[in-house]
């Protein structure tokens, strides 16, 4: 499901986010003869997979604890999004895919919302693998069907794996090809993945278990159908919802497949309760807010502090027709902020990047523009036990020392870099700006007679801040003004969504508002976000940050077989990333803001790692009828 973006006005990239990591563990041990020596090898057969911990749910469990197994089916979830779309293929880098277009594809395993990184059988009924994890076999459910009624087979799984390598995102293909060299059909409903020798085994089973499964027959029926080209045809998947209708750049409607194969399996009980899901497109947040007030759509996951503080005073709310609520969020806050393009020459000197950070006044922004509702982000794993704190010590220090000359010596002897503090009483904190200007002077960017900084070659210190969101104006313009005060030739450029998508993908910007995915148990996905090989083209690395110190820590994280070692390396990586100063850390919320017309209901025990509005909530038909009878809703 698509999680709401909880950093104010942050951009989210859903491509690939469902394809990394899946695992669990209720063991049935059998023995097999291997090799000419006929040595015994322990084979584990399980209904799920977990990397470090045992699975919460045993084999044959009835349903997840956090669902309402008796939730009624029917009604409509409707919400809004901003921007445009011109494709229903979410796997191409061309164009902009329609909302939820990736959600029609299921995978062999699916995640649990109350365990970090535990996964259970979805298309796969069970999996088998040796203790060495050199390979994995998935035993698929024969009843699984695509939306056209055709069976989901091992051939479809192998085809999906291969087409993602041949036509998918290059950063994904490069990362997977070297680690998973073989996928093979054993029989109609049995598929095997063999992993490359001499590489860490962690997250390989989860990687293949999370691969989206496409219909081989659908692709091969028309040679023009490719994964790397935009198309308005959505393709054929096996998930609960299928595309019902669309109006380009206005709305997308999905309808529950009446013949969905997976209603009765335990991981789906109590989920996917809506008859239809409708997404309304708007050009700006003001129009979307007015449409919500009027009941044109009925669920809103809010990420605008001004709206949350001032806009929920309309009659439908005061009359009790709309509910405004804050719900707990146990996820790691997204690592969001103002991203610096590390490919740009003006940012090669870390003193320039630090000066740019100092120009941002979080305290004033939060108090004056965001109603004091946010907290300042410092860490890439903010507020967790894997956030780097204090001086490095113990195993974390040993890891950092092992990096040798590749790591900044100050990382070994200093507390981790944290966002600076500024005065909330005024936009321009003179102390911070004075420090920033000294850094720019030392970096060779001197102020000319016209007040603009130039280097020895006469090149101006220019920064273009790029966005496609009008709602960001009030938050970024004061930051840009501070940059100008320091002598930078800083401009704020808001462009349309299509242009922004293209320029972001091509990394044709100086700075943008963006971020990086976070996880309590990160693994191979780190190569796409911070790795050296994919740094020049990965859509998951907006800054292009990379380095031998980062690469070594990613290798350690992927190779970790114990939780203690994993956490020590994540803390070390957090410390190194923060020291690079490639992002201006901004704010985080740590909770969900939601408003909805009073016909939605949700389980009493919502899980810690998902809001669940798209697959755990449901419509109360009596409340929906009452809203219409009252005239509050059409």
Q: What are phi and psi of 331, to 5 degrees?
A: -75, 160
**pLDDT tens digit string along 282-300?**
988 899 999 999 999 999 9
Average pLDDT of the segment spanning 372-392: 96
- pLDDT of 34 over the 50 cut: no
Q: Look at residue 572 and give its three-state secondary structure.
A: helix
Give the integer Cα–Cα distance in Å for 613 and 594.
10
Residue 232 has pLDDT above 90, yes or no: yes
pLDDT at 52: 82
Assign 83 to helix, strand or coil: coil
Q: What does pTM read for this prediction?
A: 0.87
Q: Which residues pair with 547 in a beta bridge?
A: none
**Per-residue confidence band for 37, with pLDDT thresholds at 50, 70 and 90:** very low
Q: What is the DSSP letter of 199?
A: S
Place of tokens 């120009």: 359
Give the tens place of pLDDT for each residue, 417-441. 999 999 999 999 999 999 999 999 9
In 3D space, the residue among 386, 395, 392 whose CA is nearest the CA of residue 416 turns out to be 392
pLDDT at 257 > cutoff 60: yes
Flag whether pLDDT at 32 surpasses 70. no
**531 contacts 347 by C-beta, under 8 angstroms:** no
Please give the Cα distance from 607 to 190 (Å, whole number). Answer: 32
CA distance 182 to 180: 6
Cβ atoms of 428 and 360 closer than 8 Å: no
Tokens of residue 554, six digits: 């990613």
Beta strand extents in 288-392 (DSSP E only): 299-302, 322-328, 335-340, 375-376
Across 37-63, average pLDDT: 87
pLDDT, tens digit, for every residue of 87-133?
999 998 888 999 999 999 999 999 999 998 899 999 999 999 999 99
Q: Which residues of 584-608 are buried (b: 16+ CB within 10 A; e: fewer)?
A: bbbbbbbebbbbbbbbbbbbeebbe
Residues 617-621, mean pLDDT to the nearest whole number: 98
The string of pLDDT tens digits covering residues 385-400 is: 999 999 999 999 999 9
Topology of domain 335-588, CATH: Dipeptide-binding Protein; domain 3 (3.10.105)
Which one, of 233, 356, 295, lies nearest residue 596 by Cα? 295
pLDDT of res. 293? 97
Length of the chain: 634
1 Cβ contact list (under 8 Å, min separation 6): 103, 610, 612, 614, 615
Percent of the chain with pLDDT over 90: 85
82 phi and psi, to 5 degrees? -115, 155
Would you give the DSSP letter of residue 345? G
Q: Are 230 and 96 in contact (CB under 8 A)?
A: no
Tokens of 295: 């009941």
* Per-residue pLDDT reduced to its tens digit, 62-95: 999 999 999 999 999 999 999 999 999 999 888 8
Q: State the Cα–Cα distance between residues 30 and 50, nearest whole angstrom.
A: 19
In the chain, where does the domain assigned CATH 3.40.190.10 lie? 1-63+74-283
How is the chain split among helix, strand and coil, in percent rounded to 5?
30, 20, 50
**CA dist., res. 171 & res. 537, Å (int):** 7
CATH of the domain spanning 1-63+74-283, picked from 1.10.490.10, 3.40.190.10, 3.20.20.70, 3.30.360.10: 3.40.190.10
pLDDT digits (tens, 9 = 90+) for 539-574: 899 999 999 999 999 999 999 988 899 999 999 999
Rg (CA), the chain: 25
Specify burial of residue 629 (Cβ count, 10 A radius: 0-12, 13-18, 19+): exposed
Phi-psi region of 294 (alpha: psi -120 to 50; beta: other; left: phi over 0): alpha
pLDDT above 80: residue 40 = no
Q: Please list the residue range(s) of the chain that carry CATH number 3.10.105.10.
A: 335-588
């Amino acid at each position: 499901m698509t999680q709401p973006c909880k950093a104010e006005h942050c951009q989210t990239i859903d491509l690939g986010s469902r394809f990394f990591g899946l695992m669990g563990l209720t063991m049935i041990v059998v023995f097999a003869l291997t090799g000419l020596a006929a040595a015994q090898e322990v084979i584990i057969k399980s209904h799920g997979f977990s990397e470090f911990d045992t699975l919460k749910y045993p084999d044959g469990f009835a349903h997840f604890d956090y669902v309402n197994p008796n939730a009624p089916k029917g009604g409509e979830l409707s919400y809004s999004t901003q921007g445009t779309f011109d494709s229903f293929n979410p796997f191409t880098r061309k164009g902009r895919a329609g909302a939820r277009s990736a959600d029609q594809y299921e995978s062999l395993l699916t995640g649990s919302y109350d365990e970090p990184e535990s996964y259970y059988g979805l298309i796969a009924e069970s999996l088998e693998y040796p203790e060495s994890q050199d390979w994995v076999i998935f035993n698929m459910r024969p009843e699984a069907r695509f939306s056209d009624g055709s069976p989901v087979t091992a051939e479809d799984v192998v085809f999906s794996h291969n087409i993602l390598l041949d036509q998918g995102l290059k950063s994904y293909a490069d990362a997977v090809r070297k680690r998973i060299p073989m996928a093979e059909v054993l029989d109609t409903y049995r598929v095997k993945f063999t992993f490359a020798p001499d590489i860490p085994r962690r997250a390989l089973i989860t990687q293949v278990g999370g691969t989206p499964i496409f219909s081989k027959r659908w692709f091969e029926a028309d040679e023009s159908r490719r994964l790397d080209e935009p198309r308005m045809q959505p393709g054929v998947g096996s998930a609960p919802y299928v595309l019902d209708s669309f109006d380009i750049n206005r709305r997308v409607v999905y309808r529950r497949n009446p013949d969905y194969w997976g209603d009765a399996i335990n991981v789906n009980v109590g989920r996917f309760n809506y008859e239809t899901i409708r997404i309304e497109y708007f050009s700006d947040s003001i129009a979307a807010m007015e449409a919500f007030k009027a009941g044109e759509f009925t669920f809103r996951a809010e990420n605008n502090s001004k709206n949350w503080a001032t806009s929920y005073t309309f009659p439908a709310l005061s009359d009790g027709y709309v509910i405004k609520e804050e719900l707990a969020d146990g996820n790691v806050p997204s690592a969001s902020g103002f991203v610096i393009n590390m490919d740009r020459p003006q940012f090669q000197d870390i003193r320039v990047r630090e000066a740019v950070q100092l120009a941002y006044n979080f305290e004033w922004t939060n108090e004056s523009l965001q109603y004091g509702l946010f907290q300042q982000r410092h860490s890439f794993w903010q507020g967790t036990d894997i956030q780097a704190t204090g001086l490095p010590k113990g195993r974390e220090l040993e890891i950092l020392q092992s990096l040798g000359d590749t790591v900044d010596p100050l990382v070994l002897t200093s507390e981790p870099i944290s966002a600076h503090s500024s005065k909330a009483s005024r936009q321009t904190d003179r102390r911070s700006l004075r420090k920033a200007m000294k850094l720019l002077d030392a970096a060779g960017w001197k102020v000319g007679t016209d007040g603009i900084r130039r280097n020895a070659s006469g090149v101006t210190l220019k920064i273009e801040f790029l966005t496609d969101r009008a709602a960001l104006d009030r938050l970024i313009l004061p930051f840009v003004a501070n940059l100008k005060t320091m002598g930078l030739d800083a401009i704020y450029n808001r462009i349309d969504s299509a242009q922004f998508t293209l320029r972001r993908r091509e990394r044709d910007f100086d700075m943008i508002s963006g971020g990086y995915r976070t996880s309590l148990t990160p693994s191979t996905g780190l190569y796409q976000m911070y790795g050296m090989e994919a740094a020049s083209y990965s859509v998951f690395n907006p800054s292009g940050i990379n380095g031998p110190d980062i690469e070594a820590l990613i290798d350690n994280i992927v190779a970790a077989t114990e939780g203690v070692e994993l956490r020590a390396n994540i803390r070390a990586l957090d410390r190194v990333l923060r020291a690079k100063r490639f992002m201006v850390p901004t704010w985080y919320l740590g909770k969900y803001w939601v408003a909805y017309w009073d016909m939605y209901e949700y389980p009493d025990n919502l899980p810690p790692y998902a809001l669940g509005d798209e697959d755990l909530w449901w419509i109360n038909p009596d409340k929906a009828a009452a809203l219409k009878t009252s005239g509050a809703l059409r």
